[in-house]
Structure formats: C-alpha cells, structure tokens
Structure 1
C-alpha cells in the first residue's frame, strides 16, 4: 500500500501527510493520481490481464494502454489495431472498507434513486464517485467529453475504473488509430469543506469549459398540461396567459412547444394542428416570450431506405418506430438540417430528446449489466459508442449556432461543455405528486452541483394542475425558482387562481435573476432533501 498510493485512505480519515502532499501537488499542477496496480482488457466477453511495462504502459498481444500525465489529469490512450476491444479496466489496491458513505452519478437522467449509500462492491458508479468519512471527501472521476463510457466500483480492498469501448453491442475496431479514452481526475476536499461544496468544485475540475446560457433560463412548457395534445391555439393561450405574470423584461422567459407539433415521424414538417411554425414562433415573441421547440433527432421516416436505419434490437426498434444509424454521415446531415430549420423558423431554443434510448434501446436505469443488447453493430464499427454520441451532439451544437440547446435523455458527461442546458432527471408529472417528488426533488438534491459547472441543470417542470396538490407544487416551484437552476412551468389555465398567479409571478421574478446554487443541507441522510440553503437562508420543505 505504501509502495503506490492512489489517494491513501486510512481508518481514521485522510492522513495529514498525504493530504499535504496532495494539496501541494495540485498547487504545482501535478497529477493527484498514481498509476494503477493492474490493467485489464475485455475481449469477446472475457477479461484479460495486461502486463505492466514500467508504471505507465500495459500490454497484451496487440493491445496497448498508455497513461500520460497532463496537468492534474492522467490521460488514457489505447491501441488495439486487430482485436475488437470492448472495454479496459484499471485497479488500484487500497483499503476503502472504513468509508461508510459513497455517492455516484447516473449515465443520463436520474431516476429518483440517487443517495449517499454504503459501498457495495458490485455497484457501478457512472462517471464519478465520492467517498466520505464524516471528515473529508475524496472525489474520483473522468473529465467530461470522454471517448469511452466510464464507471467506478468501490471494493473493500480496491478502487476500479472501467472504460467501455463498445461500438453498438460489439467491440470497437480501432485499426491503426490511438483512442484517447478518458482523462482521470481526482480531488480531495479542503479542511471543513462540505461534501456538497467538494462535489461542486470537483464538477469544475471535470468540466473546465462549460457552455452556459447568457442569462438564467425560465419559462413554460406545455407537456404536463396536454401531454402531446397541443395545437397552435393551446400554445397561444398558454403563452398569452403566462406572459402576464412576467416581471423581468431584460431576461424574457421561454415558451417551449413540446411533442405534438410535427407531422408523424418527420420533424421537418409541421402538422395541421399548427400549420405554420414560423408564425407560431412570431406569435410567442409577440407576447414577450422566446420560442422553444422539442424534437427527436434520430427518429426515421417510414419511407427511409433500410440502408439508413440502425439495426433492430430487442427493446429499441419496434415495427412502428424506426431509428436512424448515427454513424452514417447522411443521417447526421439530416439532423443538422432539421436543427438549422428550427433556427430559420425563429426559435431560440431546441430541446432534443430520446437519443440515448434510440441508440442503446435502454433507459439509464436499465443499464445494469450492459448498455445495450450484445452482438449488434452500427454500419461504422470503428468508433466507440461515446465517440458516436459525441459526433451527434457536436452536429446538433454546430447547427444550432446561437440557439440554446437542452438535452433530454442525453448522457450527462457527454452533454457537459456542449449544450447550455440538460434535463437532469426523468419526467416529473402533472398528474401525481409522488412522481414529481421522486424524479424532481431527488434529482435536484443530488445533481445541483452540476448546475452552472456542467450546464444549466434542469430538474424538469412544475406541473400545475388540479390533479397535483397545490401545497406540494408551490414548494417545488419555490425550490426551482430560488435554487439557481432553470424553472419551467406547465400550467393548467383554469386551475390558476389569484394565489397561484401570485406565486408564479414571484417564481418568475426569482428565476429571472442570477442566484447562488441552492444547497441541500440534509442530503447525507435524506434521499429527498427537505432542508435547503437558498440565498443564504435556511428553508424547510415538507414533501410528504
């Protein structure tokens, strides 16, 4: 253990001498992380142990992994010219058993299940993991924008990092190129620093160049009122009514049109309920709001050539739902054309959805053993799934130009530094409070450190309807409006009385201005935090 420390953990906490060494290393810009004790490669479903060639190189037949120090990060480079590589794994040997609490992340959105938990050896912690001993917090992660999908496992006698390099459901064919898989970073909390502050600062380490909105984002979204049964008239009515509650004309809110405007499976053609999307955008602007639009970039048309389609796999493509293969340049060009079209129509924000489901055929909560069904492949097998996703996201970003982009069902760590906003949790509800509590409160409580460090972190809407208790929704709206995160409201107009309108008006006023991130004060013990620090005051909520 003394021969090679990763970040040395002891039974009583972090040793002072190690702490001093690490903070000094960070000051001079050196890496906080030492080289792994073991390296493995997954080929054909089997894990093969690599041979160390010095401290920074591991090999097995044609597979070569090299680790290079870059500032405070350790960059991982992989070569595998012949072998179809599925993943690589590093292992650092040291004791973690005395650390009672850990916190991981999710692949894409959260699903109401984030919490500080006891370490479990088989748990995959996507992208990063925090270890806490009631005194200090150690953070382990990879930088955003990686070319492999990464997770950490905390075992009693080791830390392990896996970098998945699948292409579709098979190993990637790298050929003669070298894959820059990921940059490993670590951080150690300062003395007396809270775990929340430690994670917020670590997010800044993982994402050094976030792309953020110029002003706080807030407004309305129609989904949780009509659930797709929208029209030109419903959008006009909601925008007109809600615009009367806006107080800040220097930062105008958005009116986002969700699913239901398009012609069947073609997101470049408007249906008869809307007729003219350019006119719709102008209508929204006439009421002092900024128009936004929902889209699904990888859905295919029924008349598309089969050569453009991704393979049908269990759980994803049904007979009535065809998916474009994102490795085909023609499909990426279509995605870019559609995004550019929305800008031509006059929209200021585009919300794109379903891409993770469309690529893998699984939601993040279903990615337990693997990301997708094994055995299938895209037309181009030379790129990892992470690279394929990065290409898609990059195309959307380029085509959007100065429009804001909000990702939904997008991989969080690959969205950071690319999109201004990200939907950080699964759907809230305009029908039941229990779902909003689970998907909204939990999500905001454990992902708010990503707000304005990765992107503007959207905890999803307040579904203001008669089906959800007002006393609960009022609190949820207050939390969103005062937490520094985006606020979107879906309001049933005939439910809005004087009290509701006054609360919305105040929420819009708060959400329109720059505020410090809220902090959940009881998140170490409460999966649905009730005690919050908002604008330097403590606020207590009752979610039950």
Structure 2
C-alpha cells in the first residue's frame, strides 16, 4: 500500500460563465494553464500531493475547472468504482462498473477483484471548491466547482486555493477496504477526534419532536445511565428537535429560550441530565430563522422559515452567540443540523452532478461556496470550546477537522425498519473507512420502538457497537423489555469500551449496498437484514 505522487493533469478546461461550455486552457509553463481572464496552477507538494490554485482577477469571474488525466492511478483500468456522497449519503453508496457520467464527490477508488489491484484519487479535506470526479475507460477527470452559490466567484486579486489532490495505489494482497482507509488518511492530515468513545441516547426516533418535556428527557438520561452502569466513560443524552417554539418540524431560531411553559429552564435541564449520570447534548438548526433578522437571505424562503446567509458576518456572529449560549447553559455536545439544506435549498440523494442550482446567490461573491461552508463550520467549532460538535446534514469532507462526530447518512427510523436498513447499514459500510480519519462516524440512531422489529434493530445495534463508531440509541419506554434492555446494556458498554478491538470490516461490500458479512477481530459475522417480504422496491422514505 503506498501513497503515490500525483502527476500533472494532461489537459485543463475552464468554465467561466455558470452556464458556459468548457474552454481548453493553454499550457503556459510547467504546471500552469491559462484562458483569457483565468489561470490554473498545479504545484507538487513534498508529500506527493498536487496543490491546485486558481486566479480570475476580474469579471466575469470563474465557475468551474476540469482537470483531465488520460490514465488511471496505479496504471490499471478498474473493473469496479466507488465514490463518496456530497453530504450525507442516502443509501446509494456502492461499487459499480465504470459509468463515465457518474459523479463521484470528493474521492474515488477503483479495484479489479481478479487482478487484485486497487487505486484511487481524492482531494484533501476542507477544500476551497466543491469537488467531484468522473471515471471512464480512458482516464479520470476532476471537476472543481468554485461558484459562489450558483454564480461565478469573483475572487479579485487573491489566489484561490481550490484543492490538493492525493492518490493511493495498492498491490494484490491489500483489500479495497484497507486501500480506502489509506486514501482517507491521506486526504485528512489533521482530523479532530473525540477523546473518548461517543455513546448516548437521542429521543427523536420515538418522540419525533412531539409531546415531550423535561421529565421525558430526564427519564431518557436515567435510562442511558442505567445501560452504562459504572463505566468510567459517561454517555450523552441529546435533546433533539422539539425544545423550542415550532418544534418537531425542524424550526428555525431564535435559539435564546426554550418552548415557553415547557422548556423554561434550559440550564436547569442540562444540570438535571448531568445529575442522572449522563452528559447533556442539544440539537439546533443554525441557518434558519422564524423571524426577520440581520443576515437573512432575500432570494429564498418564506415567512416563518427564513434561511440565513452564511457568507454574512452578521450570520456567523449570531451562530457563534447561539453556540456559546448552549455551552453556557451547560450542554457538552452541540448537534448542528440542516445547514446544507438551508444553503442549497435541497438535500442531495442519488448524487446529483452539482450541489448548487444555477440561480442561487450568496451575498459575498468573492468566496466560493466551499470556502463559506468551511468558515461556518469553523465558527461553530471555535464557539463550542471544549464541547463536542456533531455535524448533521453538513458536508463531511469540508467539516472534517472542525467536527468531532459526523452523521454520515440520512435518517434511520423508529417507524420503518426498511429505512434503517437502507440508510444506516449502507453508510456504516461505505463510510466506515472515514472513522477516526476524518472524524468519528455516526451512522445514526438505533431505534427501539414498538413499530420496528427488535430482532432486526438489535443486529444493527450489535454491528454499530462492535464498529467503535458513535452509538446513539432512541429507546421508547413502551418498547423496553428484559431482552431489549439486556441487548442495549451489552451494546452500550461495548461501545463505551471503544467497540470490538480492531473494529469491523465489510466483506461482501463489492456486491451489495447493505453488506451482510463482516469481519471483526478473528471472527466473521453474518447478519440478516431482510424482513419476511424482503425489501420494499424503492419505496420513497
């Protein structure tokens, strides 16, 4: 297994206007290409990475750059190709044969199971561009989206640090999973990792933000503390959506008070959770407001649901003040959610070719959307101080190094096992290599509810606990039985220990989106994820 020196691209193409066609850039010396109004520079780094910088000093600015390599890393054409997702995954991550138009956000890995070789390219975390790859029979292309929202960026005289490309190549004997681990490590030289295993409870998948109050939260805190017993690592109790006015529908701020008449004393609630033996955590949606406020966007939104512009200094100041307030109340975990949706106006299932639509606008046209998002995540991280930060519906590749924990997949479910199978197991399998290389992976909660089969959920519970990734459980008191409590106690304590030594590894992931066979330590485990009728045929969930 080796990190390779990334060669210069064979050709560079530039898109100036957001809806324009690519223009072939002219070589202007080693590692330099130009078109009228823009310049692309590639510089080799001592560690083998290839740093890409862009210049576009005047209007109309710059939209995208495509860099083309007319070969594959490692020298062999892959038989199967794996990519990542723009933000959370939505059950779609999988190895496929070559599909030239398939967008592969952030990185790609190719393997040939017959020959046994695996290789791939990726970009370093916290890039200045929204980056995706395409792979065809003849080579690979890196697409750098440097727009501000959906419009060309106007960087002025500054040099725009777009991305640094890294690559790995493995010979026969190295598994594709080990190769992906090495690629993730090369992409993320400075991860921000939690000091202890992250384990806890979250009430969302049985309460769904409705009809709960401090008494229910404290009951959950007591339950998770009971499962943890006298373990020296204490679990979290996260208060999810529902603690503010308009709760249960992912409302916006202000975030300065709880729901009147119910959550009147948020500092007291945090202290009460701690008194039960758990660590208090809190959910919020930083980029949505219920009232007009400074920094709000004028191009989207409606009364009562007003997105905030993350390129605005006023917005960042307000977000920082919110996070600092939560910390002052005594919350030790801050879960920030929905910022990708509030910037782009949509989620990104099935991996669309780009994140932003053509007419979306940010107030600051001098910075790329990627740069604006990184600044938002940095603001939250700095305001959180020593509190743990969990990103949800954030762009993980841009948040790495600025969150300790990342929700890597779309929601599991306390109502439909099919959603947990499709989302939770898929993201655990295909993003597990990011664990402790980008951040601690959170595949989302394991529900224990009357509406879902415990025989299936307990398998998911067992796998997550063994993996050493973040384990959150959502336990409906009505679903507690002696068997469920015993299963949850064993899993919580294993997860608090850090999981099975050596973690887990998917074994059949080349052939399925939800692997059933896993290696853990010196054992091979087999799980069955199917309900009696199998899986719903692409039922919208």
Same fold flag (TM > 0.5)? yes
**1:250 corresponds to 2:232:** yes
Structure 2: how far apart are the matches of 1:495 and 1:502?
13
**1:397 corresponds to 2:385:** no
| Counterpart in the other structure of 2:30 | 55
| Counterpart in the other structure of 2:86 | 107
* CA shift for structure 1 position 248: 4.3
**1:80 corresponds to 2:56:** yes
Structure 1: how far apart are the matches of 2:353 and 2:71?
25
Deviates more, 1:498-507 or 1:241-250: 241-250
**1:34 corresponds to 2:7:** yes
**Is contact 1:325-1:331 (8 Å) kept?**
yes
* CA shift for structure 1 position 62: 2.3
Paired residue secondary structure (1:167):
coil
**1:121 corresponds to 2:100:** yes
Structure 2: how far apart are the matches of 1:97 and 1:214?
40
Gaps of 5+ in 1: 1-18
* CA shift for structure 1 position 190: 4.2
| Counterpart in the other structure of 1:188 | 169
**1:537 corresponds to 2:523:** yes
1:355-504 correspondence runs (5 A):
355-365=339-349, 368-504=352-488
| Counterpart in the other structure of 1:312 | 299
Paired residue secondary structure (1:171):
coil
| Counterpart in the other structure of 2:276 | 287
**1:148 corresponds to 2:129:** yes
| Counterpart in the other structure of 2:249 | none
Equivalent in 153, 171, 185 of residue 172 of structure 1: 153
TM-score under structure 1 length normalisation? 0.92
| Counterpart in the other structure of 2:538 | none
**Is contact 1:90-1:162 (8 Å) kept?**
yes
* CA shift for structure 1 position 290: 0.3
1:262-281 correspondence runs (5 A):
262-264=244-246, 265-272=253-260, 273-281=262-270
Structure 1: how far apart are the matches of 2:244 and 2:173?
53
* CA shift for structure 1 position 298: 0.8
| Counterpart in the other structure of 1:7 | none
Structure 2: how far apart are the matches of 1:494 and 1:413?
39
Structure 2: how far apart are the matches of 1:536 and 1:459?
24
Report the count of equivalent residues.
512
**Is contact 2:292-2:306 (8 Å) kept?**
no
**1:136 corresponds to 2:125:** no
Structure 2: how far apart are the matches of 1:459 and 1:244?
23
* CA shift for structure 1 position 262: 1.8
Structure 1: how far apart are the matches of 2:57 and 2:50?
23
User: Cα 1:212–1:379, aligned 2, differ >3 Å: closer, same or farther?
Assistant: same
Deviates more, 1:215-224 or 1:242-251: 242-251
* CA shift for structure 1 position 536: 3.0
* CA shift for structure 1 position 195: 0.3
* CA shift for structure 1 position 535: 3.2
Paired residue secondary structure (1:203):
helix
User: Cα 1:118–1:530, aligned 2, differ >3 Å: closer, same or farther?
Assistant: same
Equivalent in 57, 66, 70 of residue 41 of structure 2: 66
Structure 1: how far apart are the matches of 2:497 and 2:332?
19
| Counterpart in the other structure of 1:9 | none
* CA shift for structure 1 position 97: 9.0
- Structure 1 residue runs of 4+, over 3 Å off? 95-98
Paired residue secondary structure (1:166):
coil
Equivalent in 67, 88, 92 of residue 69 of structure 2: 92
Gaps of 5+ in 2: 247-252, 531-541
User: Cα 1:56–1:248, aligned 2, differ >3 Å: closer, same or farther?
Assistant: farther
* CA shift for structure 1 position 227: 0.1
Paired residue secondary structure (2:289):
coil
* CA shift for structure 1 position 367: 5.5
Equivalent in 504, 510, 513 of residue 524 of structure 1: 510
Structure 2: how far apart are the matches of 1:279 and 1:163?
48
* CA shift for structure 1 position 319: 3.6
Paired residue secondary structure (1:510):
helix
**Is contact 2:105-2:131 (8 Å) kept?**
yes
**1:330 corresponds to 2:307:** no
| Counterpart in the other structure of 1:16 | none
Deviates more, 1:182-191 or 1:274-283: 182-191
* CA shift for structure 1 position 158: 2.1
Deviations, residues 376-405 of structure 1 (Å, cap 9, x unaligned): 321111000000001100000100011000
Structure 2: how far apart are the matches of 1:115 and 1:366?
11
